[in-house]
């Protein structure tokens, strides 16, 4: 595992960096759901190393500040 990093579960994480793939697909005009489908198809690990990508997870990684603002507004009932 030369140069590889360990994921949260201690397993080698040599796959593509999610933010790089997301940025590439956003640049191609993909929406969050299509990006999630591509990440899953390419076998890009989720942040937890478990499960699958969802549009909401992609939105969080694409725009963390905007996602936090949305969640705050949602919790206050101002959506």
pLDDT digits (tens, 9 = 90+) for 24-77: 999 999 999 999 999 999 999 988 888 899 998 898 888 878 767 777 777 777
**What is the arithmetic mean of pLDDT over 11-36?**
86
The answer to whether residue 22 sits within a structural domain is yes
Q: How many domains does the chain have?
A: 1
Q: Quote the domain boundaries for residue 59.
A: 14-76
The answer to whether the beta carbons of residues 21 and 42 sit under 8 Å apart is yes
Tokens 């360990």 correspond to 6
pTM for the model stands at 0.67
Contacts of 30 (CB under 8 A, 6+ apart): 38
Give the other-Cβ count within 10 Å of 24's Cβ.
13
């Amino acid at each position: 595992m030369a140069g590889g990093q360990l994921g949260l579960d201690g397993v080698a994480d040599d796959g593509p960096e999610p933010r790089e793939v997301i940025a590439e697909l956003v640049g191609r005009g993909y929406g969050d759901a299509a990006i999630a489908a591509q990440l899953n198809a390419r076998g890009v690990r989720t942040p937890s190393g478990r499960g699958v990508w969802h549009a909401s997870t992609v939105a969080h990684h694409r725009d963390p500040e905007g996602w936090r603002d949305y969640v705050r507004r949602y919790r206050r009932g101002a959506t």
